[in-house]
């Protein structure tokens, strides 16, 4: 028999919104259970019941923005730390990519609640996605995420005979096995990594385990979103048709 589950959890599991957003919508009466508004936090429902959002909630979701940034080395992905600036501080009208053809006009409101969906460490450069939309964040950093993240990694050192195979599958970090990856040589000193997880400093630590030192790391793709010709330190809005997952 089915067990009742908190509505906020069901909405998040179905990719409709995040749990935090769900609670906010419930308080406003914007969540419909079998067509009737839910207004009490903590309300539960059976997984087989129909859950939808009101038009008001859908309008709010549509207005939320997702931004693609080419993060420079020296900026942290999240909150400012040790005197280093956060990547979100680069999102300004004057740093918007001139080639951005999105019809949106930059507004300070687009910074409200804007947060990175995933990490890119301070020593790394490249594609960072920041969003106001909990659905996008969950797609990228949820435990069940299957979104590819692609990196170009310059290395020094000599790779052991079995090293490339181990990078693809067979390593573990912090006592947990890593998911299979796709790792190939791009040229004599650069590897191409495609991962579906993002543990802290994962690529650097993977390389250390097989005798390599990372001297440069750039993320060039997340899902269908590519860094392309976006200049370092500049940003653009997510384009229509670009799929993250």
In the chain, what are the helix, strand and coil shares in percent, each to the nearest 5?
Answer: 25, 30, 45
Q: Which residue has the tokens 């030192």?
A: 213
229 is catalytic: no
Specify whether the CB–CB gap between 70 and 233 falls below 8 A: yes
Query: Residue 32's beta-bridge partner residues?
Result: 37, 52
Q: Among 34, 100, 121, 174, which one carries the catalytic annotation? A: 121
According to DSSP, residue 179 is labeled P
Here the tokens at position 62 are 């549509």
Rounded CA gap, 223 and 219, in Å?
A: 12
The total of other beta-carbon atoms located within 10 Å of residue 101's CB is 9
Residues with a known catalytic role: 121
């Amino acid at each position: 028999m089915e067990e009742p589950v908190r509505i906020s959890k069901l909405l998040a599991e179905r990719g409709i919104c995040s749990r935090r957003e769900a609670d906010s919508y419930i308080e406003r009466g914007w969540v419909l259970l079998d067509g009737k508004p839910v207004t009490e936090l903590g309300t539960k429902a059976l997984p087989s019941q129909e859950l939808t959002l009101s038009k008001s909630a859908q309008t709010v979701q549509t207005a939320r923005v997702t931004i693609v940034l080419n993060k420079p080395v020296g900026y942290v992905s999240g909150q400012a730390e040790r005197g280093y600036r956060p990547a979100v501080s680069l999102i300004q009208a004057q740093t918007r990519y001139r080639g951005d053809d999105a019809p949106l006009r930059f507004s300070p409101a687009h910074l409200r609640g804007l947060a990175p969906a995933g990490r890119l460490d301070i020593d790394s450069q490249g594609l960072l996605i920041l969003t106001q939309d909990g659905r996008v964040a969950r797609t990228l950093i949820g435990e069940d995420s299957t979104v590819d993240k692609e990196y170009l990694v310059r290395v020094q050192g000599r790779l052991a005979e079995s090293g490339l195979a181990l990078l693809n599958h067979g390593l573990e970090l912090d006592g947990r096995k890593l998911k299979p990856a796709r790792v190939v040589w791009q040229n004599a000193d650069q590897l191409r990594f495609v991962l579906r997880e993002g543990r802290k400093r994962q690529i650097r630590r993977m390389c250390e385990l097989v005798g390599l030192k990372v001297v440069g790391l750039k993320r060039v793709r997340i899902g269908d979103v590519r860094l392309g010709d976006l200049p370092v330190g500049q940003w653009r809005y997510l384009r229509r048709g670009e799929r993250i997952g």
